[in-house]
């Protein structure tokens, strides 16, 4: 049996949905990631089984004073993911002072931290504990190249490939991880949560009006 675990780069996927709306006019933020991942399990062979899904993200709590509704929408979506059995791995945003050439002054920006490292550590953990055979990383981030190279050397019997979000396909990653593929446009549209989402405890969660 080929046990397949998906590791989802939430930040990379989120910006993919923004591009999707920009190019198609359709909003697909209400993604049901469990059904989306399950729809691709056949790509890993007849003996493939969906073992687990991990979603990596960072709560934008620094926006609490500026846009509290954005935090509410974020938490709402995480509740839906959690309700479908997806494991949440949350990192953080770090404040950084940078010089703005446009306004000719120093400003504070926030950068997502730890997500790439968290994905790499989780991959190594899964292979070391032998709880999965294939790791499918939903991202197009080339910062993950060293992870793939190391795992190919240390775990030659294991497999890593990339499931590229919309408009995130990368040739370097494709060459490094044969078998990688892109999510098709229609899959984003097809695999949306119902409205409302009914959680295991009976609670109903409605899609944010802005989505």
Q: So where are the chain's domains?
A: 2-198
Global confidence as pTM: 0.90
- Residue of 119, 92, 82, 84 whose CA lies nearest to 6: 119
Confidence of residue 4 (pLDDT cuts 50, 70, 90): very high
pLDDT, one tens digit per residue, over 154-171 is 999 999 999 999 999 999
**What digits encode the pLDDT tens for the residues 21-35?**
999 999 999 999 999
Answer yes or no: CATH 3.30.420.40 is held by domain 2-198: no
44 within 8 A of 90, measured Cβ to Cβ? no
**Per-residue pLDDT, 168:** 96
Name residues whose C-beta falls within 8 Å of residue 107's C-beta, 6 or more positions apart in sequence: 97, 98, 99, 100
Tell me which DSSP letter residue 133 carries.
S
pLDDT over 70 (residue 96)? no
Query: Hey, what are 141's tokens?
Result: 């981030």
CB 159 within 8 A of CB 12: no
Q: H or E element: which one contains 28?
A: none
Of the candidates 94, 146, 98, the residue with the CA atom closest to the CA atom of residue 123: 146
């Amino acid at each position: 049996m080929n046990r397949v675990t998906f590791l989802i780069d939430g930040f990379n996927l989120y910006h993919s949905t923004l591009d999707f709306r920009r190019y198609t006019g359709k909003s697909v933020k209400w993604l049901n990631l469990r059904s989306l991942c399950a729809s691709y399990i056949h790509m890993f062979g007849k003996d493939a089984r969906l073992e687990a899904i991990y979603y990596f993200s960072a709560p934008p709590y620094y926006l609490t004073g500026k846009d509290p509704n954005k935090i509410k929408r974020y938490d709402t979506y995480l509740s839906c993911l959690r309700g479908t059995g997806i494991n949440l791995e949350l990192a953080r945003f770090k404040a950084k002072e940078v010089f703005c050439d446009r306004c000719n002054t120093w400003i504070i920006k926030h950068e997502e931290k730890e997500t790439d490292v968290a994905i790499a550590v989780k991959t190594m953990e899964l292979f070391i504990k032998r709880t999965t055979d294939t790791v499918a990383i939903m991202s197009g981030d080339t910062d993950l190249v060293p992870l793939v190279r190391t795992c190919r050397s240390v775990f030659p019997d294991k497999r890593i490939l990339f499931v590229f979000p919309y408009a995130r396909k990368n040739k370097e990653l494709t060459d490094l991880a044969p078998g990688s593929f892109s999510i098709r446009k229609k899959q984003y549209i097809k695999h949306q949560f119902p409205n409302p989402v009914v959680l295991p405890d009976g609670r109903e969660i409605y899609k944010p009006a802005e989505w």
